[in-house]
């Protein structure tokens, strides 16, 4: 009977690895090795190495020099096989993680519309982040960005805009979050009559239930008026009313 002993450990740059190992971000060179297992009867051994996606390196010995990708992670597996048989082999596996950035958050987004030329101070945070980049669209402009913070100004370019925070580190796996900021007075975006889209003319039950939607309801108020006829308006909630019209029989 031919025997090969189990592989019981692996080293990374001379340090014994655990089942899960964190390796810093960025492209770098590593030396991986395993002890030579005992064979009985004595036999030469061929080693096969399997690396995470994006890593490079090749060896048939118990030591391999590899080049990592910037942020790739996964498993490292080595298989050792006796040279005198094809079916007796031992394998060993370790896991590798990289400290990629987490999903960012933005604090300070306003809950009400900004006036033109007003600005707001935002601050971002994310685990493992080294770079913070703010970009804006629409009626917003980045006045100043320093490290995790930015001053975002409202312009006359429209009624709203977006601000996006993108974070990254040397793992080169950026993540982003986007928020909307409204500019100027709220604008009506849609209306319903008895839960149906607004039409001309509208036919309602009596009372009828009317709603409007605005581009930023926070901090806004509504004022409803009967332009013709008579009846009563009863406020039913923010941007919602019921209308009871007076009906006269002729």
Percent of the chain with pLDDT over 70: 95
Asked if the peptide bond before residue 26 counts as cis, ω within 30 degrees of 0, the response is: no
> The tokens of 150 are what?
């930015």
Neighbours of 33 (CB within 10 A): 20
Residues 6+ apart with CB under 8 A from 87: none
Is the model more confident about 67 or about 207?
A: 67
- CA 31 from chain centre, in angstroms, equals 33
Q: DSSP assignment of the chain, as one string?
A: --EEPPP---EETTEE--SEEE--SS--EEEEE-PPPPEES---EEEEEE--TT-B---SSSEEEEE--SS--EEEEEEEEETT-SS-EEEEEEEEE--PPPPPEEE---SSPBPTT-EEEEEEE-TT--EEEEEE-SSEEEEEEETTEEEEEE-SS-SEEEEEEEEE-TT---EEEEEEEEBSS--EEEEEETTEE--SS----SSEEEEEEES--TT--------SS-EEEEEEETTEEEEEE-----
**What pLDDT does residue 247 have?**
63
**What pLDDT does residue 250 have?**
45
Half-sphere exposure of 108 (CA within 13 A, CB side): 15
Give the position of tokens 């009977």. Answer: 1
**What pLDDT does residue 167 have?**
98
Assess whether pLDDT exceeds 70 at residue 10: yes
The residues with which 176 forms a beta bridge, in sequence order, are 166
**pTM (2 decimals)?**
0.73
Q: How distant, in Å, are the alpha carbons of 134, 142, 211, 230 from that of 121?
A: 12, 10, 33, 48
Report pLDDT digits (tens) over 139-188.
999 999 999 999 999 998 778 899 999 999 999 999 999 999 988 877 77
Report pLDDT digits (tens) over 14-58.
999 999 999 999 999 999 999 999 999 999 999 999 999 999 999
Burial of 247 (0-12, 13-18, 19+ CB in 10 A): exposed
User: Order of strands, edge to edge, in the sheet holding 188-193?
Assistant: 196-197, 188-193, 208-214, 240-245, 231-237
């Amino acid at each position: 009977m031919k025997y090969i002993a189990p592989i019981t450990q692996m080293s990374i740059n001379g340090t014994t690895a655990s089942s899960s190992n964190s390796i810093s971000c960025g492209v770098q060179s590593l030396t991986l090795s395993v002890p030579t297992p005992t064979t009985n009867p004595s036999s030469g051994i061929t080693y096969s190495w399997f690396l995470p996606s994006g890593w490079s390196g090749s060896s048939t010995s118990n030591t391999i020099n590899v080049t990592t990708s910037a942020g790739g992670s996964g498993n490292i597996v080595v298989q050792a096989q006796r040279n005198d048989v094809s079916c007796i082999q031992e394998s060993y596996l370790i896991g590798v993680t990289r400290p990629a950035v987490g999903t960012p958050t933005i604090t300070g987004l306003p809950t009400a519309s900004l006036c033109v030329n007003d600005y707001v101070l935002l601050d971002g945070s994310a685990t493992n982040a080294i770079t913070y980049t703010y970009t804006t669209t629409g009626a917003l402009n980045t006045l100043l960005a320093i490290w995790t913070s930015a001053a975002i100004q409202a312009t006359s370019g429209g009624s709203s805009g977006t601000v996006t925070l993108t974070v990254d580190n040397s793992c080169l796996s950026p993540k982003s979050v986007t928020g909307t900021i409204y500019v100027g007075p709220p604008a009506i975006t849609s209306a319903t009559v008895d839960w149906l889209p607004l039409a001309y003319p509208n036919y309602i039950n009596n009372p009828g239930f009317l709603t409007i939607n605005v581009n930023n309801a926070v901090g806004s108020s509504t004022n409803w008026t009967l332009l013709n006829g008579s009846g009563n308006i009863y406020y039913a909630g923010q941007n919602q009313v019921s209308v009871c019209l007076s009906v006269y029989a002729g």
